[in-house]
Structure 1
Amino acid sequence: MSWDDGNPYVDELAEGVYAYVQPVGGWMVNNCGTIVDGSGSAVLVDTTSTERRNRAVLAEVSKVSRGAPRAVVNTHHHPDHTYGNGFLPRETLVIGHEKCRDEVLAAGLEATRVITTPDYGDLTLRPPEMTFTDRLTLHLEGFPVELRHVGRAHTSNDVIVWLPDQRVLFAGDLAFAGGQPFLLEGSVAGFRSAIAQMRALEPEVLAPGHGPVCRGEEVGVLLDDLDAYVAYVAEVAEQSYAAGLTPLEAARANRDNRFSGWAETERFVGNLHRAYSELAGNPVDTRLTVPSVWPDMVEFHGGPIGCLA
């Protein structure tokens, strides 16, 4: 799989269900979703990172729905999925896991000081206003939308958006199609558990947080590849930790691997930091932040990490 450098586009996943795909992918450039029910009102899945990009998303939403979006579901707290909350109408309810709210408030606008190249616009922090701990079902006109917390995986607060009638799954950043997933703020074992939970649903269509939509057999291939990647990270970490290598040294020693063609290879270093923390016996909720490992990631990358947001 590889990234496409084209413009954002809308992919209809089922009747009234759409993915807004930003093919450039990468840091701060994510996918969003729109679910339109029988009344014509919309529920969004995530926002994006800059004012310009969110204006473009809302323009597309207005073409397929009526009135202001009823709600937006944040699949997790990362800024590419939540910074756009502040550009939504006040009557649009922001929904997320309870830890998503905590993390949005804790992080603030920190990402703008780490990834400095984008023009973010006039950002206003807006955390979820309705939170839940395990599951929440939105009963739209004509069908349900299930929100499921899958445990600590990509972050502490990952939520999948499952439409059982349509067999459509919005996976957030539990699925990167074409790019390396990021486990730094989550859990190695937890990410594999989340993959198993998604596989058990047997979705016919999967919209990842980054990369193109997968359909049919592509869904299983993507989940298998992601699981194999996380297993590889765990294997490298175990061997390298025992050998006394740092995460950066371990990444360098294993730079050439079957996943090195995926985008954002610098995440390999961050993922090893998380795996090392788990091997050291630290609690699963030990906080590891992007700013704390960013220098290692930049060094592994070989220079400044680009962002096209």
Structure 2
Amino acid sequence: MSLEELKPGIYAWVQPDGTWWLNNAGAVAGDDGMLVVDTCATAARTMRFLDALPERPIRWAVNTHQHGDHTYGNSLLPVTTVLIGHERMREGLRVDPIIDGCPPFWQPVPDWGPVSRRLPDLTVTSDLTVHVGGRRVEVRHPGRTAHTPGDLIAWLPEERVLFAGDLVFAGLTPLVFMGSVTGALDAIDWLAALDPEVLVPGHGPVQTGDGIARVFDDHRRYYRHVLSVAAAGMVDGLTPLAAARRADLGEFAGWADAERLVLNLHRVYADSEGRDLDLVAALADATAWLGGPMRTAV
């Protein structure tokens, strides 16, 4: 893990290899304080991140979405920090049972350490601008469900630095089972229209130059592949697990966390049938496809 200075006073906290529970976070520093983008899954990892930051009061923090790898460390932020999130992200974290103990779908089972559920103090439904010293940080919602119902990005328009959260996974399998595959596909075009110079994904290495367009195109092809596999599976009366077992991952076979295909198919099936996703069934099918618990190095 390392703190990368992207431009003066703008930082990404990158945790290789970006697989399950190993997220990226970030920070924007001004003369009068700092804004942090996300925390980490465990107390130990969050403290390493916070200890690596420059000496500035953390005045604000933004959660890009509700998942624990980006939020469980919230309680380690200073009590004076104003925590910002989408209103649906706040509700998702409020009812999240995994912070109380991770189920054995992963191996080894993560230990979060001494964290507690800390919810946003300030919620938004669309956009908000935070002024960090002389810097403008635009906190934006894609306008529809994508990775989750409550996604936010942090966009610095003058520096053209984008903290995309889990709308982007660089070089590993995207996860959309708590959102919408079609919404996530649309969100890629929304992000691309910003024309960032530096892209901090939710997982995977920071992207610059041609790498940004390449990772966006990777997502487009993957999501279309998921939709195609789901459509064929439903026509043939297959379950999401059976459709995944029949599918050829092709160019995506080398991406880490390939079992997310099963989870993403569960999402497409649920949306097509107009019902809620059965989270436990989806995770059980992912481990069945994999032949054992999902691997993590958290």
Amino acid at match of 2:10: V
Please give the alpha-carbon distance, in whole angstroms, between the structure 1 residues aligned to 2:278 and 2:18. 21
Deviation at 1:296, TM superposition (A): 0.3
Q: CA-to-partner distance for each residue in 1:226-273, whole Å, 9 max, x for gaps?
A: 111001100111111101111101111114421111110010001001
TM-superposed CA distance for 1:31, in Å, is 0.5
User: Does the residue aligned with 1:201 lie in a helix, a strand or coil?
Assistant: coil
> CA distance change for structure 1 residues 158 and 11 in 2, over 3 Å: closer, same or farther?
same
Distance in 1 of aligned mates of 2:281 and 2:60: 34
8 Å contact kept, 2:68–2:99: no
Structure 1: unaligned runs, 5 residues or longer: 1-7
Q: Superposition pairs for residues 74-113 of structure 1, below 5 Å? A: 74-110=63-99, 112-113=101-102
For 2:37, which of 10, 27, 45 is the aligned residue?
A: 45
Report the Cα offset of residue 289 of structure 1: 5.1
Corresponding position: 1:22 with 2:11:
no
Q: 2:132 aligns with which of 140, 150, 162?
A: 140
Give 2:39's aligned amino acid.
Answer: T
Q: Do the aligned partners of 1:42 and 1:65 also contact (CA within 8 Å) in 2?
A: no
Q: Which residue of 1 aligns with 2:184?
A: 191
CA drift of 1:95 comes to 0.4
- What are the ranges of 5 or more consecutive residues in structure 2 without an aligned counterpart? none
- In structure 1, C-alpha distance between the alignment counterparts of 2:100 and 2:23, rounded to whole Å: 15
Tell whether the 8 Å contact from 1:75 to 1:158 is kept in structure 2 after alignment: yes
Match of 1:58 in 2: 50
Q: Does 1:154 align with 2:147?
A: yes
1:241 equivalent in alignment to 2:230: no
Tell me by how many angstroms 1:183 deviates: 1.1
Is contact 2:35-2:62 (8 Å) kept?
Answer: yes
Which amino acid is 1:47 matched to?
A: T
1:34 is the counterpart of 2:27: yes
Q: CA RMSD in A?
A: 1.4
- Determine whether 1:300 maps to 2:289: yes
Aligned match for 2:162, one of 157, 169, 175: 169
Q: What secondary structure sits across from 1:277 in the alignment? A: helix
Q: How many residues align?
A: 294
Alpha-carbon separation, structure 2, partners of 1:290 and 1:112: 16
CA deviation map 1:158-203 (0-9, x unaligned): 1111000100000000000111111111111100111011000000
Aligned-partner residue type, residue 267 of structure 2: R
Give the partner amino acid of 1:230. Y
Cα displacement string for residues 81-107 of structure 1 (whole angstroms, at most 9, x for unaligned residues):
000001111001110001111111011
1:292/1:94 CA distance change after superposition, 3 Å: farther
Matches of 2:149 and 2:221, distance apart in 1: 21
Separation in structure 1 between the aligned mates of residue 100 and residue 224 of structure 2, nearest angstrom = 29
Are the counterparts in 2 of residues 147 and 159 from structure 1 also a CA contact under 8 Å?
Answer: yes
Residue 75 of structure 1 aligns to a residue in which SS?
coil
Per the TM alignment, residue 307 of structure 1 is displaced from its structure 2 partner at its CA by 1.6
**What is the identity, as a one-letter code, of the residue corresponding to 1:271?**
N
The separation in 1 between residues aligned to 2:256 and 2:46, in whole angstroms, is 24
Q: Which residue of 2 aligns with 1:5?
A: none
How far apart in 1 are the matches of 2:179 and 2:98? 20
Give, in angstroms, the shift of residue 279 of structure 1. 2.4
Among candidates 246, 257, 260, match of residue 253 of structure 2 = 260
User: Distance in 2 between the 1:91 and 1:183 partners?
Assistant: 33
Q: Is the 8 A contact 1:175 1:209 kept in 2?
A: yes
- 1:264-298 Cα offsets, whole Å, 9 max, x none, are 00100010011112222x1xxx5425433111000
Deviation at 1:108?
Answer: 3.9
Structure 1 residue 207 displacement after superposition: 0.2
